[in-house]
């Protein structure tokens, strides 16, 4: 119920979230003390929540750091392979693919390292803010905040260790960037070399008129090698199909995982709504219990008021009883006096009767002596008359005393009846007071039970609110994770579209050059007499096409287009000798190569690279 608030009191507060007692806060004003303790408990609760969140963030950062260490080992292995390729000066398709993979993985690694570094910096700032909250305002609470200080110190040490490891990773990512920059510089040098080689190729096209048939066979051998490479590409395409199927299976598994996560979220939402309904029901029951408690308080106040009225009536009746008791005592004394008077009057009457008898006897004697005692008779008659008068007076007095005595007895009986009525009323008042006390005890017990039930309901409501907050946090985390994954997928789709356009441009340029070379050598094989003029014409057209493509495309496309023309120059003359019929059949087969298949192959390669990046990001998460 109500509690008395004393001035200059010491308040002991238990903070369940902070994990201890906050003792002895002296305040001159009790209301200010209560408000300040409430603010302090809220601030300490927020600090405790920050410590719990900080522990979770540290665990997440350490897990992410382990994943980054694994990724760093992969990047280091690819770096060593890539450096070996650079030292050998190999310009194979595998080296370009590995360079692209190394570029993507190093970029992902660099972005993740930067994100982790920013996250650690924000955690350090939050620790400084929490220490600024704790230190200046609550220096007198050493016992309660000693554990918090230790936790902050431990978290700072772990953050410093994480920052050292992140700095090492940043040095590794800087090394990867340096390697990539050196690669780009080397590619620029290769572009310059290839431009000089293209000019040499134009000169060679001008000198083809002077070459022999053996040199033409060398060029046809180059086409055979290109066909062999295309077969190798088909094999690699089948392998990529298998890997694509595996990746599709993995993607299907990931989609099933996402669906299971969605089902879990729906289940959690159902539980959340059920908890909300239960909370509303409990709020209704608590309101009903509060109404019953107020009714019990009103009935208790009415019973207390009735008890006060009965007590006042009891006091008044006891006062009236005392007054009537005094009056009864006075009436008894008066009745005793009247009884004494009556007894004395009766005694006098008896004496008078005796005297009358004596007088009658004397009268008889006197009558006998009439003559002698006539005078005496007259005197005696006079005395007799006087005695009769006195007797009548005494009889009247006795009658009056009897009437008074009867009146006194009637008054005494009336007073006894009044006393009995007052006693019955007093007993009824006492019984009502006892019943009111019993009702008050029952109401106090029911009030205590209702208070306990209210405390239980409040605890349940707090638990439900905590579970609701946790569900909201999990929903927010799931939504953020889904948003991040959708962003990553959209970025990868955009990158795939860009790579596809790039590969299609490369394929179109390769097809143009392939058609150009096939027409040129077909014309040479069909019309050997007019070989010189047509070759000169084709050389002019080839120079014009190369100059236009040089202006339109990048250095990598020159590298890919010129590679087919210069890989077969080291072939021996024995390998170059073949029949013109074989040459024509090979040219026809080269002419029937499907450009869509080549573009699809390059698209599959780009998809493989992007899927490797996706797997790396999923592995990190």
- 3-state SS, 455-516, equals HHHHHHHHHHHHHHHHHHHHHHHHHHHHHHHHHHHHHHHHHHHHHHHHHHHHHHHHHHHHHH
Number of DSSP helices (H) and strands (E) in the chain, helices first: 10, 2
How confident is the model at residue 40, as a pLDDT? Answer: 62
d(CA 65, CA 169): 10
CB atoms inside a 10 Å sphere around CB 198: 21
Q: Given the DSSP bridges, would you call strands 9-15 and 20-27 parallel, antiparallel or unpaired?
A: antiparallel
Kindly indicate the confidence band of residue 223, based on its pLDDT and cuts at 50, 70 and 90: low
**Is the separation of the CB atoms in 345 and 405 below 8 Å?**
no
Which pLDDT value is given to residue 368?
65
Residue pair 478/265 in contact by the 8 Å Cβ criterion: yes
Please state, rounded to an integer, the average pLDDT across all residues of the chain. 69
CATH number of the domain that 439 lies in?
1.10.287
Task: For residues 313 and 402, state if they share a domain.
Answer: yes
Q: Could you tell me if residue 164 is inside a domain?
A: yes
- Same domain assignment for residues 33 and 170: yes
Tell me, yes or no, whether 196 and 309 share the same domain.
no
**CA end-to-end span of the chain, whole Å?**
55
More confident residue, 600 or 251: 251
Q: State the DSSP H helix or E strand holding residue 344, giving kind and residue range, or none if neither.
A: helix 213-368
Contact partners, residue 51, CB within 8 Å, separation at least 6: 130, 148, 151, 152, 155
Radius of gyration of the chain measured on its C-alpha atoms: 62
Measured CA to CA, the distance from residue 377 to residue 421 in angstroms comes to 64
Distance of CA 325 to the CA centre of its chain: 78
CATH number at residue 10: 1.20.58
Q: What's the average model confidence in pLDDT over 226-250?
A: 80
In this structure, the answer to whether residues 414 and 321 fall within a common structural domain is yes
More confidently predicted of 407 and 219: 407
Query: Which among 55, 41, 39, 68 has a CA at the least distance from the CA of 126?
Result: 55
Regarding whether 128 and 5 lie in a shared domain, the answer is yes
pLDDT at 191 over 60: no
**Residue 10 · residue 26 · CB < 8 Å:** yes
Please count the structural domains in the chain: 2
Q: Rounded to an integer, what distance in angstroms lies between the CA atom of residue 244 and that of residue 237? A: 10
Whole-angstrom distance, CA of residue 53 vs CA of residue 61: 12
d(CA 327, CA 320): 10
Report the alpha-carbon distance of residue 419 to residue 321 in Å, rounded.
Answer: 7
pLDDT at 599: 53
Q: Domain check: are 204 and 332 in the same one?
A: no
330 and 439 both lie in a single domain: yes
> Is 126 a member of any domain?
yes
The neighbour count for residue 500, using CB atoms within 10 Å, is 16
Report the distance separating Cα 345 and Cα 341, nearest Å. Answer: 6
pLDDT at 598 over 70: no
User: Model confidence at 87, in pLDDT bands (50, 70, 90)?
Assistant: low
Backbone angles phi, psi at 567, to 5 degrees: -85, -20
Residue 138 lies in a domain: yes
Mean pLDDT of the region 419-441: 78
In a domain, 219, yes or no: no
Q: Give 10's contacts (C-beta < 8 A, 6+ positions apart).
A: 24, 25, 26
> Residue 293: which pLDDT band, with cuts at 50, 70 and 90?
confident
CB 179 within 8 A of CB 82: yes
Whether the predicted pLDDT of 7 surpasses 80: no
∠ Cα 327 331 336 (to 5°)? 150
Whether 535 maps to a domain, the answer reads: no
**For residues 154 and 57, is the Cβ–Cβ distance under 8 A?**
no
Q: What does the alpha-carbon distance between residue 300 and residue 277 come to, in Å, rounded to a whole number?
A: 34
Residues 172 and 303 in one domain: no
Angle between helical axes of 531-552 and 142-207 (0-180°, round to 10): 160
In the predicted model, is pLDDT for residue 126 greater than 50?
yes
Average pLDDT, integer, range 376-404: 75
- For residues 351 and 205, membership in a common domain is answered with no
Q: Which residue has the higher pLDDT, 147 or 137?
A: 147
Q: Is the pLDDT of residue 284 over 60?
A: yes
Q: Higher confidence at residue 43 or residue 578?
A: 43
Give pLDDT tens digits for 548-594: 444 444 444 443 444 444 344 443 333 344 444 444 444 444 444 44
Last residue of a domain, one of 443, 458, 473: 458
Q: Return the higher-pLDDT residue of 216 and 118.
A: 118
Average pLDDT (403-410) is 77
Q: Is residue 509 part of a domain?
A: no
Which one of 429, 458, 487 terminates a domain?
Answer: 458
On the question of pLDDT at 447 being above 50, the answer is yes
Task: Say if residues 119 and 68 touch (Cβ distance below 8 Å).
Answer: no
pLDDT greater at residue 170 or residue 93: 170
Whether residue 113 is found in the same domain as residue 4: yes
Distance CA 388, CA 395 (A): 10
* Domain extent at residue 370: 288-458
Domain end among 194, 210, 226: 210
Q: Which residues contact 210 (CB under 8 A, 6 or more apart)?
A: none
* Shared domain check, 426 and 328: yes
**Residue 152 and residue 130 in contact, taking contact as beta carbons nearer than 8 Å:** yes
326 occurs within a structural domain: yes
**Orientation of helix 30-88 relative to helix 142-207, angle to 10°:** 30
Given pLDDT bands bounded at 50, 70 and 90, which one contains residue 218? low
In this prediction, residue 39 carries a pLDDT of 65
The CA angle 108-110-115, to the nearest 5 degrees, is: 95
Q: Domain for residue 597, yes or no?
A: no
Q: Could you give the dihedral angle defined by the CA atoms of residues 608, 611, 617 and 621, in that order, rounded to the nearest 10 degrees?
A: -140
My answer on whether 326 and 449 are in the same domain is yes
pLDDT at residue 9, as a whole number: 37
**pLDDT surpasses 70 at 337:** yes
Q: Rounded to 10 degrees, what is the CA torsion of 177, 491, 602, 507?
A: -90
């Amino acid at each position: 119920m109500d509690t008395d608030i004393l001035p200059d009191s010491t308040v002991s507060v238990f903070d369940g979230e902070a994990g201890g007692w906050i003792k002895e806060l002296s305040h001159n004003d009790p209301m200010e003390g209560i408000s300040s303790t409430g603010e302090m408990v809220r601030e300490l609760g927020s600090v405790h929540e920050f410590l719990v969140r900080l522990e979770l963030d540290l665990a997440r950062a350490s897990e992410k750091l382990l994943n980054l260490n694994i990724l760093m080992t992969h990047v280091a292995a690819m770096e060593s392979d890539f450096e070996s390729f650079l030292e050998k000066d190999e310009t194979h398709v595998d080296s370009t693919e590995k360079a692209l993979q190394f570029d993507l993985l190093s970029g992902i690694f660099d972005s993740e390292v930067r994100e982790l570094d920013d996250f650690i910096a924000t955690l350090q700032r939050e620790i400084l803010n929490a220490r600024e909250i704790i230190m200046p305002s609550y220096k007198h609470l050493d016992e309660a905040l000693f554990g918090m200080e230790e936790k902050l110190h431990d978290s700072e040490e772990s953050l410093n260790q994480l920052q050292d490891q992140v700095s090492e990773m940043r040095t590794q990512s800087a090394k990867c960037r340096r390697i990539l920059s050196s690669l780009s510089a080397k590619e620029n040098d290769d572009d310059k070399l290839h431009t000089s080689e293209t000019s040499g190729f134009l000169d060679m096209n001008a000198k083809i008129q002077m070459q022999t048939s053996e040199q033409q066979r060398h060029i046809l051998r180059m086409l055979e090698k290109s066909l062999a490479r295309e077969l190798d590409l088909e094999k690699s395409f089948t392998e990529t199909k298998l890997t694509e199927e595996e990746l599709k299976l993995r993607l299907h598994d990931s989609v099933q995982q996402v669906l299971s996560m969605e089902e879990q979220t729906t289940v959690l939402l159902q539980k959340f709504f059920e908890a909300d309904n239960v909370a509303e029901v409990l709020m209704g029951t608590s309101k009903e219990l509060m109404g019953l408690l107020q009714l019990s308080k009103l009935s208790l106040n009415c019973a207390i008021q009735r008890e006060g009225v009965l007590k006042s009536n009891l006091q008044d009746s006891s006062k009236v009883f005392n007054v009537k008791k005094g009056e009864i005592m006075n009436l008894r004394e008066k009745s005793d006096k009247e009884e004494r008077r009556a007894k004395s009057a009766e005694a006098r009457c008896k004496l008078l009767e005796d005297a009358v008898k004596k007088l009658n006897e004397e009268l008889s004697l006197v009558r006998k002596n009439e003559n002698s005692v006539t005078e005496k008779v007259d005197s005696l008659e006079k005395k007799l008359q006087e005695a009769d008068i006195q007797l009548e007076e005494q009889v009247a007095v006795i009658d009056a005393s009897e009437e008074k005595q009867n009146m006194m007895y009637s008054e005494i009986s009336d007073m006894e009846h009044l006393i009995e009525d007052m006693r019955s009323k007093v007993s009824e008042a006492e019984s009502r007071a006892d019943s009111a006390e019993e009702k008050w005890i029952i109401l106090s017990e029911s009030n205590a039970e209702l208070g306990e039930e209210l405390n239980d309901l409040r605890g349940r409501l707090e638990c439900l609110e905590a579970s609701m907050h946790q569900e909201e946090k999990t929903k927010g985390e799931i939504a953020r994770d889904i948003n991040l994954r959708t962003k990553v997928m959209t970025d990868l789709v955009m990158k795939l579209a860009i790579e596809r356009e790039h590969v299609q441009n490369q394929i179109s340029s390769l097809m143009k050059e392939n058609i150009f070379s096939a027409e040129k050598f077909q014309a040479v094989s069909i019309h050997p007499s007019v070989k010189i003029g047509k070759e000169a014409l084709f050389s002019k057209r080839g120079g014009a096409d190369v100059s236009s493509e040089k202006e339109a495309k990048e250095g990598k496309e020159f590298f890919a287009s010129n590679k087919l023309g210069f890989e077969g120059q080291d072939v021996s003359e024995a390998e170059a000798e073949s029949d013109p019929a074989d040459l024509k059949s090979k040219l026809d087969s080269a002419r029937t190569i499907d450009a869509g298949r080549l573009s699809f192959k390059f698209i599959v390669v780009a998809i493989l690279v992007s899927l490797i990046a996706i797997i790396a990001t999923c592995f990190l998460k």
